[in-house]
Structure 1
Amino acid sequence: MIAPVIVRTMIARPAGLTRAVPALYSLALAAIVLGPLLGPGYLLLRDAVSTPRSYLTDSALGLTDAAARAVPQDAAIAALTSVIDGGLVVKAILLSALWLAGWGAARMVAALLPTAGLGPQLLASTVLLWNPYVAERLLQGHWSLLTGYAALPWTVLAALRLRRSAAPLSPRSWCPLGLTLAAAGLTPTGALLATVLAAVLLALPGGAGARWSRLAVGAALAAAASAPWLTATALSGAGAQGSDPAGVAAFAARAEPGLGTLGSLAGLDGIWNSTAVPATRTGIFALVGTAVLLAVVACGLPALWRRRGNPVIAALAVVAAAAVLLPALAATGWGLTAGEWAATRVPGAGLLRDAQKWVALAAPFYALAAAAGAGALARIGGRVFGHDPRGRDSDGRPATAGRNRSAVAAAVGIVAVLVSLPDLAWGVGGALRPVHYPASWERVASQLPAADEGGDVAVLPSGMFRLFPYSGDTPVLDPAPRMLPEDVLQTGELIVAHGTVEGEGSRARDVERLLLAGGDADGLARLGVRWVLVEHSTPGPLGQSRRTLDQLDEAHADEELSLYRVAGSVEVTAADPARRAAAVAAHLLWAALLTGSALGLLAQRARGNRGRGRADQA
């Protein structure tokens, strides 16, 4: 039933809708993936936390002693949620990311394979959007990482424009790359993904302008896009502390059933968390699904090999191979040893420890190969059935059969990719569903700014993850740091299958130990704690904390939450005004790059439309 509909859509279409169909198709696929999450409520799943309102705390700016992993994401959400509900903001960003990922793949195919029709473009959209990488990152709660993933095909297009420009300093040339790098820069990992891809493509020989000039433009744009997390890391010093070497093995790529680590990564699979995978990837069907995806990709390799003279296509192939092979090597014994050495001695190396996330760099080439494969299969079919593969029937007359065969081949590929991962649909098998917070959170949040006192918030039970009755049976990141208008101390400690991975910094750990040991209130004050929040509806260690709580003033209490105040003076631990101003300036630079590039592209589009209108009138 699915294939005939797809074929009819690709063959019997008005010419004016050709460019619109990939965008509409990708939007429909994105809506099918997110499904129930698009209803009222908030995203709360593993690492993903959306709240009605977030605040521009030191944590949101990356100025605490923890690594700056969520900048400028948290600051941007804080700014947007001052006027828009946070649930809507996060869902809009996520839906846009998936939509743009699929649409960007189609546009990339149209640019690099100009003879490819609509069918191959839609197949490329399907491969980039409907795969295990997307499913597993959604289940892990890495919604903001998917903005960096979505930016990759658009980064290819932007780099192409800059390569073809003899004036790289012209806004017409650099605005597309500025926009894609800034969008990817919502997280540090996204910024690195897009920067690596852009750097490789801009460094290739050829192009209209000098290589050094376009590289200089790319470097300046990448620096602006990464300014928030680079500045936060430099100001806080968290990156120089090193990270727990235990995290290297804990977050290494993992082999799926029936597949080795290399096979899993080649199938865009293999996330470290075995519980954050779709049900169909937990058994032998993982082998089947990987074989289907790789078969669709492999069909296009001969066609791309014939185009190896195109440096961009060749570079995408090399990047894809490296994106699969290097994480696989990192999961070997000597790879883990090298990673542990780097984690403790190389500043910022902890950012690399989740090795499977870098396999995203293979996705653009996979999409391109799948599109080329549809055309190759169509040509094979044409030769088998007596048609000229160049698009003419055996009697020499122009024919539409070539387009029809390409559409059929693409439709078969689309159905195969969709069926190979059926539970990506409807919220990854229903796992992505909105939650509704109890009113207690809003009441507690309103207490803190009303008090207008300095000092941070400590939370009980200890630990970063929670099991609330309203969040289901999957551990979720504590929403308190994003729900409350004061900095909430978190140790960064992660409980994984084979032990514990410690976070950066020590103050939060000291506060946690004091509470569990039942220490005195003066100790909390010396550590900069003004408030202690107790979350009653989640299990977790409380230790002897009741002895400490009895020394504090109770500010709020209900069945969900209790809030306690530390009386007297509290040691100030907030970032000084100079550091905060520098961090805010870096975030504003990123925002200026994002909005300025977008406005520049809109202005270019408007001028182009006016020019075409005058030409039509003439």
Structure 2
Amino acid sequence: MLTLAVTAPLLRPGYLLLRDAVSTPRSYLSDAALGLSQAAPRALPQDFFVALASSVLDGGVVVKALLMLGVWLAGWGAARLVAVVVPDAGVAGQCVAATVTIWNPYVAERLLQGHWSLLVGYGCLPWVAATVLSLRGAAAQIPPTPPPAHIPPKLHSSSESASEGLLECNFVGGVGRAGGVGRGVCALVFWVALAGLTPTGLMLAATIALACALAPGVGRSRLFCAGVSLAAAVTAALPWLLASAVSAGWADAAAADGAGVAAFAARAEPGLGTLGSLASLGGIWNGDAVPPSRTTPFAIVSAAVLLLVVAVGVPLLIRRRIAVPLLVVAAAAVVVPALMATGPGLAAVEAVIGAAPGLGVVRDGQKWVALAVPAYALAAAYTVVTLRPRVPAAAVAVVCAAAVVATLPDLAWGVGGRVTPVRYPPGWSAAAAVINADPRPVAVLPVDSMRSFAWAGPAPVLDPLPRWLRADVLSTGDLTIGGHTVPGEGSRAREIQRLLLAGADRHRLADAGVGWVVVEGPGPALALPMAYRDTDITVYDVGGDAPAAARRPLMLATHLVWLALLVGGLAGMVVRRRPQAAHTEGTNR
């Protein structure tokens, strides 16, 4: 219900086009989709996966389905994590945890920024935590919370709680038996690989997995859990690790630009300051990607309610030592991005990225706040346990969940209707068909990476052409924020851009390796042979070409390794679950 309340507009026909979210009818295994263009490999292996999936289903359906899946998995995973760690919280605690995990500013702001694949990784975090804690055998050693003094304990209540914990443990990995451990490893591999649709999601999942590996337990050793987690994460990271090493121009990334670091720092919301914004799961760098209720002093109310629902359960959560590593990670996930937004923090981030441009992914400090969510979910469930001696659990759950939803009302219906599909003009399909019939390098005007289309709504969006064409689209990756341009990595595209703006003739453009020039929207008529034209888009045939990128087989192989992790992990979970369930049923009898 919560997922539908947030994402229902995506059920309409059309394509998600909103800032960084770009979906097209079809994507292809182009050089860019394999990480062989000059752009930083920030969208690997998601572009590879969407290219494969869109050969079977419409690409717009694929992206919308994955986005909805990510939000749904977040809520369901929070409930499963509670069932493993706080089995005595019951359904009431699971409902509060699911509400906190789905209905918060982080989800709203990342939806508005168009980070659909990051939300898939976000949805995997509680599953990763539950799986590793199950492998550690943490659930098997959790004592049930004593009943209130005025309520007589039920006969065999401890056995029933332990049985419930073990059943949930079996769901995500089991303890003790070889079959349970094997299924737990498969589950961990699957969730880490799924989170690895994007590098940030993989880094988030690996952090949660390693933190949970440190939890006390009676199952598999810390070394075993940490080793499996690291092995799965490194293997799943091969597509973008290899792309960083072999793609042309990556070493020329301008991520060390000081203004770029400052532009992506966490942002204070009204009345909260940077620390308060981050603690309440808000504070994204882009002030335009914020729900309206978080742009007014009402943000204080929203933050206070969320933090109160979480804070009441923290003391009891601390007493259950298995959750302490997640609490430490949550504290760091709030404090470190806040420090990164200070003067010394910005200087430190700039120095780190200057030394290693591939670490430009750390600039967006607020996205790491996702690491706090598993601990928040557990603490919210413990709030039900804490208040249960005085108030019925169902009443606590209803009040907490309703308060969280009511203080962020504009998350509903696609963040107030701002996350909704659009339709491409017919000319875009026709232009794409012309180029795909003869895929040669494409230069695009206007030169900015972000576009504003009247038919796509008021928010800007990344150019859809690179994901719609078989050909390499020359893009600089430059991003204008607050009137300042943060340079991207496309040095060759920048040279072509200068030629176009200087009015270079067909021969100079062809010699530079340009095959097509596309003008999106109304633009200047160029002195070039025209291949297609309508009011929305124009295609010019230049005739140049460029050699195919080297190492395509290598990059394709690394992506197939990631896909094998994903499919193999899922198959292991499904194949092992049936005999495991039968064994558990026989044991219980």
TM over 0.5: yes
- Once the two structures are superposed, residues 261-299 of structure 1 have per-residue CA deviations (whole angstroms, 9 ceiling, x without a partner) of 000000000000001000111101111100110111111
Equivalent pair of 2:135/2:181 in contact (CA under 8 Å): no
Tell me how far 1:594 sits from its aligned partner. Answer: 0.5
Mapping of residues 96-175 of structure 1, within 5 Å = 96-164=69-137, 165=175, 171-175=182-186
Please state if 1:277 is matched with 2:290. Answer: yes
1:54 aligns with 2:46: no
Determine which of 581, 584, 593 is the counterpart of 2:565: 593
Corresponding letter in the other structure for 2:450? F
Indicate which of 457, 473, 476 corresponds to 1:491. 476
Per the alignment, residue 349 of structure 1 pairs with 359
- Residue type of the partner of 1:570? D
Q: How does 1:547-566 map to 2 (within 5 A)?
A: 549-550=526-527, 552-566=528-542
The answer to whether the 8 A contact 1:162-1:168 is kept is: no
Decide whether the 8 Å contact of 1:244 with 1:501 is kept in 2. no
In structure 2, the residue matched to 1:41 is 14
Aligned to 2:195: 184
Q: CA deviation at 1:526?
A: 3.1
SS of 1:575's equivalent in the other structure is coil
**C-alpha contact (below 8 Å) 1:244/1:344 kept by paired residues:** yes
Q: Does 1:575 align with 2:588?
A: no
Q: Contact 2:84/2:134 (CA < 8 Å) preserved in 1?
A: no
Q: Which runs of 5+ in 1 are unaligned?
A: 1-27, 382-404
Contact 1:525/1:571 (<8 A) preserved: no
Out of 497, 506, 515, the residue aligned to residue 521 of structure 1 is 506
Distance 1:365 1:614 in 2: 34
Retained in 2: the 8 A contact 1:62–1:229?
A: yes
Look up the SS of the partner of 1:116 in the other structure.
helix
Corresponding residue SS for 2:400:
helix
Question: Is 1:502 the counterpart of 2:487 in the alignment?
Answer: yes
Output the amino acid matched with 2:549.
A
Q: CA separation in 1, counterparts of 2:53 and 2:407? A: 38
Distance across 2 between alignment mates of 1:524 and 1:430: 43
Tell me the equivalent position of 1:262: 275
Letter in 2 for 1:450: A
3-state SS of paired residue (2:531): strand
2:166 aligns to what?
none
Is the CA contact 2:284–2:367 (under 8 Å) kept in the aligned structure 1?
A: yes
Q: 1:325 aligns to what?
A: 335
Shift, 1:203, TM fit: 3.9
Select between 221-230 and 242-251 the one with higher mean Cα deviation: 242-251
Residues 200, 611 of structure 1: CA spacing in aligned structure 2 closer, same or farther, 3 A cutoff? closer
Mapped partners of 1:498, 1:121: distance in 2: 45
Tell me the secondary structure at the aligned position of residue 277 of structure 1: coil
1:112-137 deviations in whole A, cap 9, x for unaligned?
01111111110000000000000000
TM-aligned CA deviation for residue 169 of structure 1: 11
Give the letter aligned to residue 496 of structure 1: I
CA distance in 2, matches of 1:172, 1:279: 44
User: Could you tell me which amino acid in structure 2 is paired with residue 260 of structure 1?
Assistant: G
Paired residue for 1:224, among 235, 248, 253?
235
**SS of equivalent residue, structure 1 residue 144:** helix
Amino acid at match of 2:186: C
SS of the residue aligned with 1:593? helix
Taking the aligned partners of 1:199 and 1:325, their CA distance within structure 2 comes to: 19
1:271 aligns to what SS in structure 2? coil
One-letter amino acid of the counterpart of residue 575, structure 1: A
CA distance in 2: counterparts of 1:131 and 1:210, whole angstroms: 35
Structure 2: how far apart are the matches of 1:450 and 1:523?
Answer: 23
Look up the equivalent residue of 1:412 and give its one-letter code: V
Q: Is the 8 A contact 2:19 2:113 kept in 1?
A: yes
Q: What CA deviation, in whole Å up to 9, does each residue of 1:93-119 have, x standing for no partner? A: 111111110000011011101111111
Judged with a 3 Å threshold, the aligned counterparts in structure 2 of structure 1 residues 170 and 294 are, in CA distance, closer, same or farther, namely: closer
| Mapped pair 1:440 → 2:453 | no
Name the SS for the 1:503 alignment partner: coil
- How far apart in 2 are the matches of 1:283 and 1:188? 33
Q: How far apart in 1 are the matches of 2:221 and 2:47?
A: 38
Question: Any idea what the Cα deviations from partners look like across 1:480-505, whole Å, max 9, x if unmatched?
Answer: 11122211111110010151111113
1:227–1:168: structure 2 CA closer, same or farther, 3 Å change rule? Answer: farther
Pick one of 514, 518, 523 that aligns with 1:533: 518
Which residues of 2 match residues 365-444 of structure 1 at below 5 A? 365-381=375-391, 405-444=392-431
Structure 2 contact 209–226 (Cα < 8 Å) conserved: no
2:578 maps to 606
Letter in 2 for 1:342: V
User: 477-486 or 51-60: which moved more?
Assistant: 477-486
Helix, strand or coil for the counterpart of 1:601?
Answer: helix
CA distance in 2, matches of 1:507, 1:237: 10
Range that drifts further, 513-522 or 56-65? 513-522
Give the aligned partner of residue 261 of structure 2: 248
Return the alpha-carbon distance in structure 2 between the equivalents of residues 482 and 354 of structure 1.
Answer: 24
Q: Which moved more, 1:160-169 or 1:324-333?
A: 160-169
Amino acid aligned to 1:108: L
| Cα drift, residue 439 of structure 1 | 1.2
CA distance in 1 between counterparts of 2:530 and 2:64 reads 36
Residue type at the aligned position of 2:212: L
Q: Give the secondary structure class of the aligned counterpart of 1:459.
A: strand
Query: Are residue 304 (structure 1) and residue 278 (structure 2) matched?
Result: no
User: How much does 1:213 deviate?
Assistant: 3.0
After TM superposition, the structure 1 = structure 2 runs for residues 454-493 of structure 1, keeping only pairs within 5 Å, are: 455-493=440-478
Q: What is the deviation of 1:170?
A: 5.5
Query: Does structure 1 residue 79 correspond to structure 2 residue 52?
Result: yes
For 1:162 and 1:584, the matched residues in 2 are separated by 33
Two-structure CA RMSD over aligned residues (Å): 1.9
Residues in 1 aligned to 2:124 and 2:537: alpha-carbon distance in whole angstroms = 40
CA–CA distance in structure 2, aligned partners of residues 487 and 379 of structure 1: 64
The residue type equivalent to 1:276 in the other structure is A
How much has 1:478 moved relative to structure 2?
Answer: 1.2
TM-fit CA distance, 1:378: 1.7
Deviations 1:192-211 (A, max 9, x none): 00011112222445543343
C-alpha deviations, 1:152-197, integer Å up to 9, x for none? 1001011123323566995323111101101100000000000111
- Give the letter aligned to residue 230 of structure 2: A
TM-score by length of 1: 0.86
Which of residues 35, 38, 41 is equivalent to 1:68? Answer: 41
Q: 5+ unaligned residues in a row in structure 2: which ranges?
A: 138-174
- For 2:121, give the aligned amino acid: G
Q: Offset of 1:571 from its aligned partner?
A: 3.6
